[in-house]
Amino acid sequence: MKLFVKIFDFFLNSSVWVAIAVCALTEITCLNFELETPVNLLEFVFFGTILGYNFIKYFENKQLSVLHLNLTRINLIAVSKRFFRLKTQVKLMFFMSVLSAIVCGVKIFNLTEESLLLLVIPIILTFFYAISFNKTTLRSVTGIKIYIVGIVWALIAVLLPVLEAKIAPNYDVWLTFVQRVIFVVVLILPFDIRDLKVDRDELGTLPQKIGVKNTKLFGAVLLVFFYLLEFFKNSILEINLIVLPIVVVVTFLLLINSSEKQSKYYASFFVESIPLFWLLLLLIL
């Protein structure tokens, strides 16, 4: 049982589960717009998400300070000793990240020029989300963290598959982009509620600024807005009118039941399972 828990924790901590969630949202876009799903694209999204999230973790987690080196004075022996003193899971995360970087380096050559240009935006946002500029990162700028994450997820999961299909984003695509940003922002709220006591005040998360109750109310309003936007599209899919209310209700229930004392798997597993649940509904119904 302990081995299973360790494997499961690694599954979550190494960003594999969040990568599956982003892939699920990418596939949802393909289904909604009747696009062929290139395997190379899903592989790039999967490993790119792992690389991006672990890159951020490397610079947030002091256990990984092995990477914070003065490049003009690298002591390989000292670096090796520090690396081998790290916990096994942290070492595995490092090797998972290296593997992800290699796969992304190969798969990126299969993407279109339009996709490569688009990727510049999430790469820059991810870089400055983790790396400080004048002692400030995008994550530390008050109140914008969740919107940056929402935009990056939407760029990857909505615009990237459309551009890979060599289709110019139209009105419905941009409306879907806005919906996806809203949806991801709501998914982040249980995380912010969970981290209320540990987040620094300068982060200015919604629970810090307006309280837990109002954060849940704000999320509920966003979910209603998320669903209503579907009716403003030029092409309304009947299946979405069935699936989206279910997704909204499940997301709402997980949001209102989130708390500061939630299980460590509540947000990182159950909340992040919603995109996969959404995809399964589309495939089943």
pLDDT in tens, 152-207: 999 999 999 999 999 999 999 999 999 999 999 999 999 999 988 887 777 778 89
Least confident of 86-95, 166-175, 224-233: 86-95
The band of 69, judged by pLDDT with boundaries at 50, 70 and 90, is very low
Confidence at residue 85, expressed as pLDDT on a 0 to 100 scale: 60
The band of 87, judged by pLDDT with boundaries at 50, 70 and 90, is low
Confidence at residue 67, expressed as pLDDT on a 0 to 100 scale: 44
pLDDT in tens, 6-56: 888 888 888 999 999 999 999 999 999 999 888 999 999 999 999 998 888
Q: Which of 275, 100, 93 is nearest to 188 (CA)?
A: 275
Look at 138 and 60; give whichever has higher pLDDT: 138
Full-model pTM = 0.88
Confidence at residue 64, expressed as pLDDT on a 0 to 100 scale: 43
Confidence at residue 113, expressed as pLDDT on a 0 to 100 scale: 92
* Three-class SS of the chain: CHHHHHHHHHHHHCCHHHHHHHHHHHHHHHHHCCCCCCHHHHHHHHHHHHHHHHHHHHHHCHHHHHHCCCCCCCCHHHHHHHHHCCCHHHHHHHHHHHHHHHHHHHHHHHCCHHHHHHHHHHHHHHHHHHCCECCECHHHCCCCHHHHHHHHHHHHHHHHHHHHCCCCCCHHHHHHHHHHHHHHHHHHHHHHHHCCCCCCHHHCCHHHHHHHHHHHHHHHHHHHHHHHHHHHCCCCCHHHHHHHHHHHHHHHHHHHCCCCCCCCCHHHHHHHHHHHHHHHHHHHC
